[in-house]
Amino acid sequence: MTAQAAGVSVAVSTVIFALRPSPHDGRMTVWLPLVRRIREPFDGRWALPGGPLEADEDLAASAARTLAETTLLTPQYLEQLYAFGNTDRSPGERVVSIVYWALVRSDEADVAVETENVRWFDADSVPELAFDHNLIVEYALWRLRNKLEYSHIASAFLGDTFTLSELREVHEAVLQKPLDPANFRRQIESSGQVVPTEHLKTGGRHRPARLYRYNTAEPDPSNGPLGTRQPSAPKDAS
């Protein structure tokens, strides 16, 4: 750990998922913002927001900074996803990319407006990306779908309280399949993962519905001794 590893550089990139309606049929699907590269390698290709790690910058802070610089997005917290470091992932250089990810609500996502070099893509049908970023997106989607089963991850799309219909719609959007409302309600209630609040959601075209929240008596497996890494928002983007 003392010898300097020659010729290896470190980058930090970020996968941001939000739920948005499909332009084809209006159904909610998982989307992510990508940034067009304006230099080699892969000039002109779409890529995850990111950049080189600065020597005086923590990993999550680097992820937050490059994300805000390119997309204006400032998620409440970023979680580390995986370090991608195969020797052949970037032509002519050795780069280890530490990838962070976050889920954001639609209203948070709206700050990332589309420009010539920033665009939102349906996560299940991204074009051929720079580097190994297709594999990274595929892995992040797999983790999202997997983690939905055993963590409170859906609340990142929803906020602290939500109706069971809203929670089911998130599950349907992430898993990309319709779920029977009565079965979903029964399963989620018997799991003890969510608890009813004293409040109803009113207004809109539906009748008032009970608001639920995640049962915080159950520890969220996504935390642990590392705590929640909450990067401070970069000054020029807050």
The correct pick among 47, 72, 148, 209 for binding its own copies (CB under 8 A) is 47
Taking CB under 8 A as the rule, does residue 2 contact its own copies?
Answer: yes
121: phi then psi, degrees, rounded to nearest 5: -125, 145
Taking CB under 8 A as the rule, does residue 41 contact its own copies?
Answer: yes
Mode of pairing for the β-strands spanning 194-201 and 50-52: unpaired
The correct pick among 93, 110, 124, 160 for binding its own copies (CB under 8 A) is 93
Taking CB under 8 A as the rule, does residue 97 contact its own copies?
Answer: yes
Token duo for residue 165 = 């219909």
| Rg (alpha carbons) of the chain, rounded to whole number | 19
22 vs 19: CA distance, rounded Å: 9
Mode of pairing for the β-strands spanning 161-162 and 94-103: unpaired
Give, as ranges, the residues between 159 and 218 that touch its own copies (CB under 8 A): none
Token duo for residue 107 = 């209203």
Taking CB under 8 A as the rule, does residue 71 contact its own copies?
Answer: no
The correct pick among 18, 53, 104, 173 for binding its own copies (CB under 8 A) is 53
Taking CB under 8 A as the rule, does residue 13 contact its own copies?
Answer: yes
**Which of 169, 120, 126, 123 is CA-nearest to residue 148?**
169
Pick between residue 45 and residue 105 the one whose CB is nearest to its own copies. Answer: 45
In whole angstroms, how close is the CB of 36 to its own copies at the nearest point? 13
Taking CB under 8 A as the rule, does residue 148 contact its own copies?
Answer: no
Taking CB under 8 A as the rule, does residue 226 contact its own copies?
Answer: yes
Taking CB under 8 A as the rule, does residue 120 contact its own copies?
Answer: no
157 vs 20: CA distance, rounded Å: 11
Taking CB under 8 A as the rule, does residue 142 contact its own copies?
Answer: yes
214 vs 63: CA distance, rounded Å: 28
- Neighbouring-strand partners of residue 102: 16
Cβ contacts of 29 within 8 Å, gap of 6 or more: 19, 20, 21, 22, 122, 123, 124, 173, 176
Pick between residue 98 and residue 109 the one whose CB is nearest to its own copies. Answer: 98
Taking CB under 8 A as the rule, does residue 40 contact its own copies?
Answer: yes
In whole angstroms, how close is the CB of 147 to its own copies at the nearest point? 9
Interface ranges with its own copies (CB under 8 A): 1-11, 13, 39-41, 47, 50-59, 80, 82-83, 85-87, 90, 93-98, 131, 135, 138-139, 142-143, 146, 150, 221, 224-226
